[in-house]
Amino acid sequence: MTSKELKVALIQDRDQGSVEANLARIEAVVHEAAEAGARLILLQELHNGPYFCQGQDTDRFDLAEPIPGPSSERLGRLAAETGTVIVASLFERRAAGLYHNTAVVLDDDGRLAGLYRKMHIPDDPGFNEKFYFTPGDTGFEPIDTAVGRLGVLVCWDQWYPEAARLMALAGAELLLYPTAIGWSADDDAEEQARQLDAWRTVQRGHAVANALPVLVTNRVGHEAHPAQPGEGIDFWGHSFIAGPQGEILAEADTGEAIVSASLDLARSESVRRIWPFFRDRRIDAYGDLSRRFRR
């Protein structure tokens, strides 16, 4: 079987203090990754600023922008300059009172290849996303690019095997998750270890169950709660690239990093030949998956 090699890179970073500083930093590290051979580059969730969903503040809606808009157009120019496909993450203003957490895919010629609006929206302590984001309506449709069909999902989506499976069934060649996840001050060392292990394990499981590479980029650094002194989130980083059997090909720690690996996209078919999960799915018996609960 002919190999189909693709070098990919993840950008793991901390908030630089302003939209301009963050985008300037992204431009610098994307150039660095491209010069090292990367053709697909994944940025972290909501990379233009701090993770603003720790509290509820209507002024934060001023951060949103249209797509196409200033950030997507600037990142499109960056994609064209570097000859890379860039997967970015923006706070989208679709209309007054209608906002989304949206991943955008810029092809290597700079055009907007497509977008994905986050489908699963969390509402947990420190993660008040339902206040800001309308659930997505784009469905689970891969986006065609110069480097292949990308199954782009966002953060909280990574806990749902249904989302990964639907992207795989629609022909995705990779699964990508821009992410913002971390620990609160109340989490002791044992709880931190459990959370990190669960997060890594569930996404490796998506790779195994679908025989697809998985790319995950998380942010890093402590971000203080805007209204509660002493509180905040420590984003745990650990961005990683897994192969189609869940094997870790590259992983960061908790600092800024460019994480890269070479993937053979043709290997997914080889894995599916020995582990034919799609063949053995009992699609005649899965109707209850469309129910909220069975009792």
Report pLDDT digits (tens) over 228-286: 888 999 999 999 999 999 999 999 999 999 999 999 999 999 999 999 999 999 999 99
Reading phi first (left if > 0) and then psi (alpha if -120 to 50, else beta), residue 232 is in left
What are the tokens at 279? 């063949």
Residue 295 domain flag: no
Per-chain mean pLDDT for the chain: 97
pLDDT at 221: 97
Residue range of the domain that includes 168: 5-290
Residues that are catalytic: 45, 118, 155
Cβ-contact 204, 214 below 8 angstroms: yes
Q: What is the pLDDT of residue 227?
A: 85
Overall number of domains in the chain: 1
CATH number reported for the structural domain that contains residue 10 in this entry = 3.60.110.10
Q: Collect all residues with Cβ–Cβ distance below 8 Å to 144 and sequence separation of at least 6.
A: 113, 114, 150
C-alpha–C-alpha distance, residues 119 and 97, integer Å: 18
Residue at 204 is within a domain: yes
Dihedral over Cα of 5, 202, 157, 24: its sign: negative
pLDDT at 20: 98
Q: For residues 173 and 149, what is the distance between their CA atoms, to the nearest angstrom?
A: 5
Residue pLDDT, tens place only, 153-194? 999 999 999 999 999 999 999 999 999 999 998 899 999 999
Q: Is the pTM of this model over 0.95?
A: yes
Q: Which two tokens stand for residue 192?
A: 């931190």
Over residues 80-103, the mean pLDDT reads 98
The three-class DSSP label of residue 86 is strand
The predicted pLDDT at position 1 comes to 73
The side-by-side arrangement of strands in the sheet containing 182-184 is 182-184, 232-236, 220-224
Look at residue 36 in the predicted model and tell me its pLDDT: 98
Question: 131-147 pLDDT, tens per residue?
Answer: 999 999 999 999 999 99
Q: List the one residue out of 66, 122, 72 whose CA is nearest residue 98.
A: 66
Burial class (CB in 10 A: 0-12, 13-18, 19+), 194: exposed
Cβ–Cβ under 8 Å, residues 281 and 28: no
